[in-house]
Structure 1
């Protein structure tokens, strides 16, 4: 007897094949039958007439490393149909970290992974193994795939020291990467627009990537520039992967800034050339035209030397402020500055703040805010960074919709959210986050599929299930197939709708009726349950 029988649905299996009518049978945590199950008994039968039955969405790029510990229900994920998320992206991670370096990492993570969340950040672990054990004990609602973050590895060894690691330091960093891979990480990530990744070069990153190569894994990167220097940044990423002997995955691909809009085909040409030489290269993107980043990342790299506290002290000094303004206006070769990329202060909007005093700024542009307080926009930025201790996130309108449509239509494009799991209630409801934290997958199905027809239903599902699952080397997930794990999302293709907007982002997607994670109901009848059946999907070491 089946535990669950799903009948009368349109099966969109994740492979890109045309949808077909069939029933799905589940026993325990597995799909045990697909076909005509009218004569098969089940403990529970779900009639989903008019709805799509597909694999649970795999969000291949998230920053929920801490938020899933603060609220293991991962509500914004479940309501958006996500059953698996990948953490440790952009080189931003919470382990490995030895005790003497924790203070530096904690202050930095306050500007990146925590932002407006009203918590005292603590890291009661040292290794990736210990962190993953903590996640398992938290019993998350979704499956979790870990990456080891190069930024954490470097902070653990060098803090925010500028320059090259010594041979001894590099050897210890390589050993930490290997330990993380032995603990089950899926790959290594870097964020070369952020500290301390900005201080790392090809040789260092290739050496660390060599430690993941034996595990059939990959190097995933938030490349050094997505704007004026994107082609140089892609060359660097390709060189790192080639020298590291591993696959390359480019995070949240975009053309940021009017100077590079319309050049998507040149990006594809560069990818094709690298693949023709044998490189295993893939990419993902989110479906929105606005990015989100730390206001601190708008400061030149030299300001962060020694850590976040040093940056905050440096921006107080008038002479430093003059230098920063000049470098932002004139640019630094190879450095992508979000302020210059946006091109106008009205295109930079405060998303999250840390203090009560800062809440009046949420959802408003720097142009509007600085004018209201009669300050030059640069002075306003310096003062805000100091007041909020660097814990400020900004939305940046830097992309062109035509480029996004071009990228997302590529056969191998994967769709991700680049966000942390949040909630409409409790501590994870703070701030005015990017709507992608609540509505990414609903937005794709409502806008790119139903409204504008940029993607077919089957292709959109493939980009949100099989493709990311395959890149992460997930075993028996990402496709509805007999014998595979029962991670399943069921939705009405005519009514599914993201509700999250830039002005009111904390709204759950509507139109998803059912979400199963490992055969258990995380959502039923459109409401999240208390079931938390997610698992840490550790990569098996051969």
Structure 2
């Protein structure tokens, strides 16, 4: 018998068995992922990197459970979204929204003006104004549901009003101690920090040291200080001094400082962006954490009285302002200061009324109203204010300053969304469409990173703002050809276009451009 003839078949058989065993081992070791949602074929920006990828993204419950290549895993998903030709991004985080006004009303709690922009998380309680106390509104939002996630800041004004009211009164040491106690309670409730509106009454009456006393409580709790500067123009201490004040608060209280909607507002401070950037860069090198947000518009939006009335005349509230404006002993001084404030904003033709109870004034400039009433613009302000709450769009910014701030790596996107201004419906898609796609002021990754992970890091929001395994599944998918703002100053109430999907906490809120009706947002609390 030839042993070689027996050996060869046995040898081949053993090799085949070995190969089968190896294949079986690899087959058994292949990672298997059970997912609720699988996103395929998209151009993925993860929120931190400069380059995109074609990664698969798997979602289970409210978390991202896989990000990677198709060959690495075997994924079984209940729902698959084919994102071919689309951009996949972390959901946008808006650091300045006033969206709490939407959340508190069941009819608007979906927060669609923000959601349709790709926003999945909003910071609320800005400019020193918040719904107080925090716990009350946490319960309300949780019980009735909200469309997007909410991060609460505690408004400085609410603490002031609770202790000393709205008048220009210097607090005693006991008053300061009471304010600190209230601030601690709000931080204990899960607030992420405090906000100030030092331009607005009653915050404008507060000294820097008083603000620092409250900021120190926030610092002890790991919170953030968000501020509308005392002066964005030349109304009181000036823009440069106001930035320096914010830095001083950060330095002494030892906490992060975030400047809301950084700008050079009005003709007196145009082209000061270079100086402001140098001051902030020097503070950052010193070790002070200072950042800012910016909306991509050349018009700000605020109340008419805040825009042009003297702060001292507002002590006690709007009724007190109107009383003084018609007081023979005070009105000339008020008119003179109002006239100068109108000049700072570029003139009466640059102030457009976008919200007013009297339809006669709505949609008109202050110059047109002045001509209608046949009185000077500075006097026309006050009959208009008698009709109730009045908002204006104030066209007061220079494109050079807008571009200069936008290019800084410490500036993120924020809407300051408010009724009557198109930024409430259009900020994020406008920044993409105009400043990324059309004008190439920033690139795609810079836009996305500055609308997601950077904002999450600034406000210490854990596990949001990135497409990363273990992070919460807040993900948007938009069409790069059609993603754009529609709202303008003639009609500020138009939803943005081009958002195909929004996934919030692992659940689909926008599908194929339409709202699903689900309120998937949560109130986030600082731990």
**TM-score greater than 0.5 by the shorter chain:** yes
Q: Indicate yes or no: 2:470 matched with 1:435.
A: no
Give the superposition deviation at 1:22: 1.5
Give the superposition deviation at 1:227: 1.3
Counterpart among 129, 149, 154 of residue 135 in structure 2: 129
Aligned partners of 1:143, 1:208: CA distance in 2, in Å?
Answer: 26
Which residue is equivalent to 1:349? Answer: 352
SS at match of 1:504: coil
Structure 1 unaligned blocks of 5 or more: 96-126, 331-336, 421-430
Aligned partners of 2:112, 2:175: CA distance in 1, in Å?
Answer: 41
Q: Indicate yes or no: 2:509 matched with 1:522.
A: yes
Which residue is equivalent to 1:252? Answer: 261
2:336–2:378: 8 Å Cα contact kept in structure 1? no
Q: Indicate yes or no: 2:36 matched with 1:3.
A: yes
The superposition leaves residues 468-489 of structure 1 with CA deviations (integer Å, 9 ceiling, x where unpaired) of 1111101100010011000011
Which residue is equivalent to 1:322? Answer: 332
2:339–2:377: 8 Å Cα contact kept in structure 1? no
Which residue is equivalent to 2:302? Answer: 293
SS at match of 2:200: coil
SS at match of 2:99: coil
Q: 1:243 to 1:274 in 2, by over 3 A?
A: same
SS at match of 1:464: coil
Give the superposition deviation at 1:457: 0.6
Which residue is equivalent to 2:13? Answer: none
Aligned partners of 1:165, 1:12: CA distance in 2, in Å?
Answer: 50
Counterpart among 279, 300, 304 of residue 270 in structure 1: 279
Mapping of 1:40-55 within 5 angstroms? 40-55=75-90
Structure 2 length-normalised TM: 0.90
Counterpart among 223, 233, 244 of residue 227 in structure 1: 233
Aligned-residue CA RMSD (Å): 1.4
Q: Indicate yes or no: 2:101 matched with 1:66.
A: yes
Which residue is equivalent to 1:428? Answer: none
Aligned partners of 2:144, 2:427: CA distance in 1, in Å?
Answer: 25
Which residue is equivalent to 1:17? Answer: 50
Aligned partners of 2:331, 2:364: CA distance in 1, in Å?
Answer: 24
Aligned partners of 1:185, 1:213: CA distance in 2, in Å?
Answer: 12
SS at match of 1:508: coil
Q: How many residues align?
A: 486
Q: 1:265 to 1:532 in 2, by over 3 A?
A: same
Which residue is equivalent to 1:493? Answer: 480
Give the superposition deviation at 1:36: 2.8
Mapping of 1:338-487 within 5 angstroms? 339-353=342-356, 355=357, 358-388=358-388, 391-420=389-418, 433-487=420-474
Which residue is equivalent to 1:138? Answer: 144
SS at match of 2:159: helix
Give the superposition deviation at 1:533: 1.1
Give the superposition deviation at 1:84: 0.3
Structure 2 unaligned blocks of 5 or more: 1-33
The superposition leaves residues 233-254 of structure 1 with CA deviations (integer Å, 9 ceiling, x where unpaired) of 1111111222222121111100
Q: Indicate yes or no: 2:115 matched with 1:90.
A: no
Aligned partners of 2:274, 2:461: CA distance in 1, in Å?
Answer: 30
Aligned partners of 1:93, 1:310: CA distance in 2, in Å?
Answer: 23
Q: Between Structure 1 and Structure 2, whose CA radius of gyration is higher?
A: 2
Aligned partners of 1:364, 1:61: CA distance in 2, in Å?
Answer: 27
1:450–1:494: 8 Å Cα contact kept in structure 2? no
SS at match of 1:63: coil
1:16–1:459: 8 Å Cα contact kept in structure 2? no
Q: 1:379 to 1:217 in 2, by over 3 A?
A: same
1:252–1:285: 8 Å Cα contact kept in structure 2? yes
Aligned partners of 2:45, 2:429: CA distance in 1, in Å?
Answer: 16
Aligned partners of 1:130, 1:77: CA distance in 2, in Å?
Answer: 23
Which residue is equivalent to 1:154? Answer: 160
Q: Which has the higher contact order (CA 8 A, sep 6+)?
A: 1
The superposition leaves residues 209-235 of structure 1 with CA deviations (integer Å, 9 ceiling, x where unpaired) of 000111222211101111131011111
The superposition leaves residues 111-134 of structure 1 with CA deviations (integer Å, 9 ceiling, x where unpaired) of xxxxxxxxxxxxxxxx32222222
Aligned partners of 1:293, 1:241: CA distance in 2, in Å?
Answer: 26
Which residue is equivalent to 1:99? Answer: none
Aligned partners of 1:341, 1:438: CA distance in 2, in Å?
Answer: 27
The superposition leaves residues 97-153 of structure 1 with CA deviations (integer Å, 9 ceiling, x where unpaired) of xxxxxxxxxxxxxxxxxxxxxxxxxxxxxx322222222223101000000110111
Aligned partners of 1:321, 1:251: CA distance in 2, in Å?
Answer: 33
SS at match of 1:453: coil
Aligned partners of 2:403, 2:38: CA distance in 1, in Å?
Answer: 37
The superposition leaves residues 357-395 of structure 1 with CA deviations (integer Å, 9 ceiling, x where unpaired) of x1232222111122123232122211011122xx11111
Aligned partners of 2:64, 2:377: CA distance in 1, in Å?
Answer: 56
1:160–1:304: 8 Å Cα contact kept in structure 2? no
Give the superposition deviation at 1:467: 0.9
Which residue is equivalent to 1:117? Answer: none
Q: Indicate yes or no: 2:312 matched with 1:302.
A: yes
SS at match of 1:168: helix
SS at match of 1:438: helix
- Of residues 297-306 and 199-208 in structure 1, the stretch that sits farther from structure 2 once superposed is 297-306
Give the superposition deviation at 1:92: 1.2
Which residue is equivalent to 2:8? Answer: none
- Of residues 311-320 and 520-529 in structure 1, the stretch that sits farther from structure 2 once superposed is 311-320
SS at match of 1:133: helix
